[in-house]
């Protein structure tokens, strides 16, 4: 019988070649007297183990069976068509229903479209089961080999981790230059830089990304072996960059502290569910070993990074970009959550009371939402203008003295280094934008050569959308970088302009008046702001500074009463002030027990000589602070829009002035901080 014959070849990896399959099947066709043109030879390079994975050439062959009148397809073996018995029989029936014969060279079996051939059908079923068993057996042998290599000091898959490779003896070793990059990534993330920022820096410096380096090595290996260049349809190998997703995976890998941890599951090549989505997989072998020779970072640095990653994973609100002064530093002392910013924007109509504005800091664990359950019953919300005002009042004197101190130049140096880093990122993004624009223009020139006007219009529209999206993102990033660089340069100028001989309080006013300088100094000198609910109406605010100073205050979670407010036109430069404790806990003589909501005083603090050692609940502590005159006050501070500060403070004063108690304050309490 004359056949119109096609050939289908498939290999599982790019390092394999289909030449052997192709040549053997062409030789078979030649012996049969069948001529096969190149357009009837279909070749896929893709793993058959991945269920549901698209085989482009196989799909093209199926679509061309009828148009090309194909009556027979040659395969090298069963596994080239399918990887398990069920799928194989389904595929065979597909061809037989279309009256197409199949030949499998390794098994030397013809499968004709004649379903009355009972012997062929029985043999096909038997061989299909045997082929499926052979595949499972191969997977188990392969797994056994990996385990043996790992126990012998090999990689077991770890060798693909950035910073490592297998040496000539097939032993896992470090790559020195990559190890330095790994240590830098962990250090900068632990010091507060975001994964996005770290990626921008590495890309700006031209540090090759993990995928770019590894795939580049594979490309060189293919060239050495004489194999064709692999085509990557989803990306350009030369333009692969550092991404936050790959950076985060890197920071979760325990190999960087020398821990080789590999879990091997029982292979199940016939399972249609993707490996990463399978549940309750049977563990065949778990390998755990510490090897100090593979360590790149210290345990302390590792756990510092893991702690930050855990918080970032739990507190998803970090991605919400709203202008604020303290959110990044705030921690709920009750549940450990970060804080989010809630409420409308600064341009909204303010609620006309002195103790309420729209915007609030809110414990993320206490916020119930459709995407998460409420996990904190004690966390709450604090008006942004109040907490900013409290922290600023506690910090202003320190900030002003810092400008006077010799450490001033160190701050300028650090800001200058940040400007240099941001400038490098900006230059890299500008070059990337130029490349995007050039590629877009080249593509348009090629598309114009198309004869099909309808297709041309659709392709141009699609590429134009991609270009606008990519270029728009880059332009936005560049604009933000320019704004940040400009702001930092203004900060440096303002720091240098501060007269070291000026009055301290005048200097405090200058610092308060500079919104950018306030933000820089808050980030530079405050380690964190911890919020505890000590009383149903009052939060305990613990401010920890990076120089070791620790100050405690209180802030109300409700409307302030008249005797909790303070105003004197001679002393209150920024409007109505709110009552707060002033507790200096730098020597850690005070401990807060959040479970019992009490403060434990251990003694030894010379600032409170008449305070007896013991336990103090809110009422008792508040009574002592009032009687000992360890009370301070703070005014509202509207960080979001400095030009509105004066108006907001004045509006608050006008609304409440008639209700204020007629008191003359002790000036010392204003000067305590």
Q: Where are the alpha helices (DSSP H) in 342-407?
A: 384-404
> Coil, strand or helix: which one is 214?
helix
CA–CA distances in Å: residue 122 to residues 75, 117, 119, 134, 136: 19, 9, 5, 19, 22
What does pTM read for this prediction?
A: 0.48
The whole-number pLDDT of residue 359 equals 83
Mean pLDDT of 2-29: 79
Which of 168-177, 232-241, 553-562, 565-574 ranks highest by mean pLDDT?
553-562
Q: Mean per-residue pLDDT for 230-253?
A: 77
pLDDT at residue 620, rounded to an integer: 94
Provide mean pLDDT across the span 247-263. Answer: 85
Question: Which residues contact residue 599 at a Cβ distance below 8 angstroms, ignoring those fewer than 6 apart?
Answer: 534, 540, 590, 591, 592, 593, 615, 616, 617, 621
Structural contact between residues 277 and 54, judged by C-beta atoms closer than 8 angstroms: no
Give the tens place of pLDDT for each residue, 195-204.
888 988 888 8
Residue 249 has a pLDDT of 87
**Interatomic CA distance for residues 77 and 103, integer angstroms:** 8
The Cα–Cα gap between 527 and 546 comes to 5
Where does residue 395 rank: exposed (0-12), middle (13-18), buried (19+ CB within 10 A)? buried
pLDDT of residue 670: 32
- pLDDT range class, residue 660, cuts 50, 70, 90: very low
Q: Yes or no: say if 380 and 533 are a contact pair by the CB < 8 Å rule.
A: yes
CA dihedral 264, 265, 270, 276 (to 10 degrees): -90
Q: To the nearest whole percent, how much of the chain has pLDDT over 70?
A: 68
**What pLDDT was estimated at residue 616?**
96
pLDDT at 558: 85
Higher per-residue pLDDT: 527 or 453: 527
Q: What percent of the chain has pLDDT over 90?
A: 20
Q: Which residue has the tokens 């005797």?
A: 563
Contact at 8 Å (CB) between 258 and 290?
yes
Q: Is the Cβ–Cβ distance between 39 and 6 less than 8 Å?
A: no
Average pLDDT over residues 87-96: 83
- Mean pLDDT across the stretch 447-476? 76
Is residue 307 pLDDT above 50, yes or no? yes
Residue 589: CB partners within 8 Å, gap ≥ 6?
601, 602, 603, 604, 605
Give the pLDDT band (50/70/90) at residue 666: very low
Q: Please report the pLDDT score of residue 166 as a whole number.
A: 82
Q: Quick check: helix, strand or coil at residue 566?
A: strand
- Distance between CA atoms of residues 201 and 193, nearest Å: 10
Average pLDDT over residues 579-598: 94
Tokens 């795939």 map to which residue? 215
Q: Of 84 and 319, which is predicted with more confidence?
A: 84
pLDDT in tens, 112-134: 877 666 666 676 667 666 655 65
Q: Which of 368, 363, 390, 388 is nearest to 378 (CA)?
A: 363
> What mean pLDDT comes out for the span 217-246?
72
Give residue-wise pLDDT tens across range 538-550: 999 999 998 889 9
Which of 230-234, 309-313, 344-348, 496-500 is the least confident region?
344-348
Q: What is the pLDDT of residue 152?
A: 63
Rounded mean pLDDT of 541-561?
92
8 A C-beta contact, residue 433 and residue 482? no
Q: Give yes or no for a contact between 511 and 521, defined as CB atoms under 8 angstroms apart.
A: yes
For the segment 401-407, the average pLDDT, to the nearest whole number, is 55
Q: Tell whether the model's pLDDT for residue 186 goes beyond 90.
A: yes
Q: Say whether pLDDT at 491 is over 80.
A: no
User: Which of the pair, 463 or 267, is modelled with greater confidence?
Assistant: 463
Chain segment 362-372, per-residue pLDDT in tens: 988 886 554 55
**pLDDT top residue among 501 and 668:** 501
What's the pLDDT at 154?
60
- pLDDT value at residue 146: 65
Mean pLDDT, to the nearest integer, of 130-157?
A: 61
Quote the pLDDT of residue 562.
82
Task: Render 395-452 in DSSP notation, one character per residue.
Answer: HHHHHHHHHHSTTHHHHHHHHHHHHHHHHHHHHHHHHHHHHHHHHHHHHHHHHTT-S-
351 burial level (CB within 10 Å; 0-12, 13-18, 19+): exposed
pLDDT at 12 over 70: no
Contact 500, 395 (CB under 8 A): no
- Residues 498-525 pLDDT 10s: 544 456 667 777 778 888 778 878 888 8
């Amino acid at each position: 019988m004359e056949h119109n014959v096609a050939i289908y070849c498939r290999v599982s990896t790019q390092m394999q070649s289909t030449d052997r399959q192709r040549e053997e099947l062409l030789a078979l066709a030649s012996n049969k007297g069948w001529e096969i043109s190149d357009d009837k030879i279909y070749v896929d390079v893709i793993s058959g183990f991945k269920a549901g994975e698209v085989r482009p050439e196989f799909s093209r062959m199926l679509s061309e069976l009828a148009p090309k009148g194909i009556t027979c397809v040659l395969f090298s073996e069963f596994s080239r068509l399918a990887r398990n018995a069920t799928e194989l029989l389904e595929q065979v029936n597909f061809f037989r229903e279309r009256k197409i014969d199949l030949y499998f060279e390794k098994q030397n079996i013809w499968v004709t479209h004649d379903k009355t051939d009972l012997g062929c059908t029985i043999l096909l079923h038997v061989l299909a089961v045997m082929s499926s068993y052979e595949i499972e057996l191969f997977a188990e042998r392969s797994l056994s080999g990996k385990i043996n290599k790992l126990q012998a000091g090999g990689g077991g898959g770890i060798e693909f981790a950035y910073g490592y490779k297998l040496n000539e003896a097939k032993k896992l070793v470090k790559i020195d230059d990559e190890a330095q990059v790994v240590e830098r990534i962990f250090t900068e993330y632990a010091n507060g830089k975001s994964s996005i920022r770290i990626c921008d820096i590495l890309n700006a410096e031209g540090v090759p990304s993990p995928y770019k380096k590894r795939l580049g090595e594979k490309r060189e290996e293919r060239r050495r072996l004489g194999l064709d260049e692999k085509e990557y349809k989803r990306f350009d190998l030369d333009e692969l960059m550092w991404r936050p997703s790959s950076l985060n995976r890197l920071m979760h890998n325990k190999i960087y502290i020398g821990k080789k941890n590999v879990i091997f599951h029982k292979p199940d090549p016939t399972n249609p569910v993707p490996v990463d989505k399978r549940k309750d997989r049977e563990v065949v072998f778990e390998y755990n070993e510490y090897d100090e020779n593979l360590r790149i970072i210290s345990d302390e640095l590792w756990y510092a990074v893991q702690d930050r990653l855990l918080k970032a994973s739990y507190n998803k609100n970090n991605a919400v970009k709203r202008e604020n002064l303290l959110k990044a530093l705030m921690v709920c002392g009750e549940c450990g959550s970060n804080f989010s910013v809630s409420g409308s924007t600064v341009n909204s109509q303010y609620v006309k009371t002195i103790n309420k504005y729209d915007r609030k800091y809110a414990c993320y664990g206490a916020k119930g939402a459709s995407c998460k359950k409420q996990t904190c019953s004690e966390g709450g919300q604090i008006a942004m203008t109040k907490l900013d005002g409290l922290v600023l009042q506690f910090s202003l004197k320190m900030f002003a003295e810092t400008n006077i101190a010799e450490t001033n130049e160190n701050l300028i140096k650090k800001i200058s280094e940040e400007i240099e880093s941001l400038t490098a990122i900006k230059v890299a993004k500008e070059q990337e934008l130029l490349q995007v624009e050039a590629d877009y223009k080249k593509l348009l020139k090629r598309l114009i050569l198309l004869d099909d006007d309808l297709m041309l219009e659709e392709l141009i529209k699609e590429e134009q959308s991609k270009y606008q999206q990519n270029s728009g993102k880059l332009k936005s990033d560049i604009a933000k970088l320019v704004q940040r660089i400009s702001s930092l340069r203004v900060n440096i100028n303002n720091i240098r302009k501060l007269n070291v001989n000026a009055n301290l309080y005048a200097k405090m006013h200058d610092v308060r008046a500079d919104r950018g300088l306030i933000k820089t100094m808050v980030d530079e000198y405050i380690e964190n702001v911890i919020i505890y609910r000590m009383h149903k109406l009052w939060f305990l605010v613990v401010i920890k500074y990076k120089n070791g100073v620790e100050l405690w205050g209180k802030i109300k979670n409700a409307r302030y009463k008249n005797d909790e407010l303070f105003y004197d036109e001679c002393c209150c430069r920024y409007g109505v002030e709110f009552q707060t404790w002033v507790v200096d806990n730098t020597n850690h003589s005070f401990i807060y027990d959040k479970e019992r909501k009490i403060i434990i005083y251990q003694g030894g603090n010379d600032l409170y000589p008449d305070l007896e050692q013991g336990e103090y609940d809110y009422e008792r502590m508040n009574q002592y602070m009032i009687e000992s005159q360890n009370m301070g006050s703070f005014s509202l501070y509207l960080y979001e829009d400095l030009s509105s500060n004066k108006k907001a403070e004045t509006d608050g004063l006008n609304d409440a002035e008639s209700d204020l108690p007629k008191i003359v304050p002790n000036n010392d309490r204003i000067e305590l901080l």
